[in-house]
Structure 1
Amino acid sequence: MAIRETTEDLYRIQEEIASKAIIKDELNLEELNVITGADQAFFYDSNSKTQSKGEKIISAVVLLEYPSMKFIDHAYSVLPVDFPYIPGLLSFREAPAIINAFHTLKTKPDLLVIDGGGINHPRFAGLATHVGVSLDVATIGVAKSLLCGTGEVPIEEGEVRIITYRDRAVGYYLRSKKDCKPIIIAPGHKVSLETSLKLIKTCILKHKLPEPTRIAHLYANKIKRDLE
């Protein structure tokens, strides 16, 4: 799988995306009714009867009512993987499938919550920021590991600690459940730091992860099992 652009070209694209990201609330929180979660899964399609064999990415999106988290709809996209695994450049590998799946939804959500980073990224352009700017939709990134930045790791359930990078606040650690590692929450586009944290906390029910990405993860893996 070849990369057409140089690494420097891709960095410049990310810097341009970061310059377009809006990290303030452009959501009407009083009218927020629908949230979508997105997660990805990968599989190797060795049984395909077409020429499009090899590694593929599944992007699963689930539409949930807010704040009840009741299921409304789901959709998914399967695309060939045409970009290698390079930390810091994963949005070029994963964003196209998310965008494709998003466009298949009959109802467009007010907010998209993505399994991945937001502005907590070496060039402030993680997956949620990349997708948010590309779609012009509000996004929040929720990750299970820290790509960049520093912050005190919270100990107690419900405890929050800010994450900074290059003297800038870029997200939060949240220990959402006892005896679980903290999750990382960061705005992607059209949402402020504070509102990102507030909204994700309201989406956490019985599990460590917020319902939008948790259910999307389950759906993505179901599709993977069906296709393998």
Structure 2
Amino acid sequence: MEALQRDIATTARFEDAFDVDLAALDRADFAPDDQTTLDGPGGDPPLVAGVDQAFLDERVVSAIVVLRGAEVVERTHAVSPLTFPYVPGLLSFREGGPILDAFETLDADPDVALFDGSGRIHFRQAGLATHMGLALDVPALGVAKRLLCGTPVADTDRLDAGDSVAIESDDRMDAPPGTVVGHAVQTRQFDSYRINPVYVSPGHRVSAATARDVVLACRGGYKLPEPTRVADAYADEVKADYS
């Protein structure tokens, strides 16, 4: 399976390759109380999908929420059996199939997808966002809550909202030394207490710089970018119904 991950990383494109001007997301407002209409090339509004999961014993809820700015365009989910054990570094083999089950129920065609997990910031450059982006052939990026591997080029302890620090490959990774594989991104910060950044990396058809910019553009009022935050909430909602 590690060899397969290396093959996936070789096939994936860690560079910008998409039709929609994702930089236009800077003009969108993802805060739910202040919606803004966003037009991409040809007047088509970019659609951003957030993907997250919640676990039910030997089953998993895979939730997808598609946003146009703060507007929820579509919500869908699948409940699938878990057929692969929990193995650090191989989570995409456990979680990827159920996510594809959810995408089979999706009507919308998202312009970019944000996954709760890593993309290129992975020992073999093939985290969940890389697997899913390649399988779906959609611009994809990973948003992780902790740093799996790689080394920040500067201190990340006291970043202000909107700041980012590049993450370079280290000796635990297959990428050439010094390769920028993602960024620590400070989406929110507070005067009364400090919160940690999220770790953003390209999955497929998106560069490390663009992945960072997309997450900054998708900020709302919370630490997680809005697409994955609302997907997380929806996954918990479905889980509660099944529980």
TM-score by length of structure 2 reads 0.83
CA distance in 2, matches of 1:73, 1:40: 16
Shift of 1:193: 1.0
In 2, are the aligned partners of 1:154 and 1:174 still within 8 Å (CA)?
Answer: no
Name the SS for the 1:104 alignment partner. Answer: coil
Separation in 2 of the partners of 1:156 and 1:14?
33
1:5-20 equivalent positions in 2, closer than 5 A: 10-20=1-11
**2:50 aligned with 1:37:** yes
The correspondence of residues 16-31 of structure 1 with structure 2, limited to 5 A, is: 16-27=7-18, 28-29=20-21, 30-31=40-41
Name the CA distance, whole Å, in 1 between partners of 2:84 and 2:239.
19
Find 2:182's aligned residue among 171, 180, 199.
Answer: 171
C-alpha separation between the residues in 1 aligned to 2:205 and 2:212?
Answer: 14
* Equivalent residue number for residue 90 of structure 1: 91
The reply to whether residue 226 of structure 1 matches residue 238 of structure 2 is no
Indicate the SS of the match to 1:201.
helix
Partners of 2:157 and 2:196 within 8 A in 1? no
Aligned to 1:119: 120
Q: Using the alignment, how far apart are the partners of 1:213 and 1:79 within structure 2?
A: 20
Residues paired across the two proteins, number:
207
Q: Report the Cα distance in structure 1 between the residues aligned to 2:188 and 2:113, rounded to whole angstroms.
A: 23
- Give, in whole Å, the separation in 2 of the partners of 1:80 and 1:100: 11
Give ranges in structure 2 of 5+ residues lacking alignment: 22-39, 171-176
Q: Match of 1:96, as an amino acid?
A: G
CA offsets 1:8-55 (integer angstroms, 9 cap, x no match): xx00110110011101111221446101100011012xxxxxxxxxx1
> Does structure 1 residue 101 correspond to structure 2 residue 102?
yes
Q: Which amino acid aligns with 1:95?
A: G
In the alignment, structure 1 residue 181 sits paired with structure 2 residue 172: no
Q: Distance in 2 between matches of 1:177 and 1:137?
A: 27
TM-aligned CA deviation for residue 156 of structure 1: 2.5
After superposition, the C-alpha distances for 1:83-112 in whole angstroms (9 at most, x for unaligned) are: 111110000000111111112111111111
Structure 2 counterpart of 1:48? none
- Residues 81 and 93, structure 1, Cα contact 8 Å, conserved in 2: yes
Aligned counterparts, 1:61-76, within 5 A: 61-65=64-68, 68-76=69-77
Runs of 4+ in 1 over 6 A off after TM superposition: none
Whether 1:211 aligns to 2:200 is no
Tell me, in whole angstroms, the C-alpha distance in 2 between the residues paired with 1:190 and 1:100. Answer: 22
- For residues 76 and 95 of structure 2, the distance between their equivalents in structure 1, rounded to whole angstroms, comes to 16
- Counterpart secondary structure, 2:184: strand
Letter of the structure 1 residue corresponding to residue 236 of structure 2:
N
C-alpha root-mean-square deviation of aligned residues, in Å? 1.1
TM-score, normalized by length of structure 1? 0.88
2:210 is equivalent to residue 198 of structure 1: no
Structure 1 residues not aligned, in runs of 5+: 1-9, 45-54
1:59 is displaced (CA, Å) by 0.4
Question: Within 2, Cα distance between the matches of 1:72 and 1:212?
Answer: 11
- Quick one: distance in 1 between partners of 2:106 and 2:73? 11
| In 2, Cα distance between equivalents of 1:135 and 1:26 | 14
Aligned-pair distance for 1:154?
A: 4.5
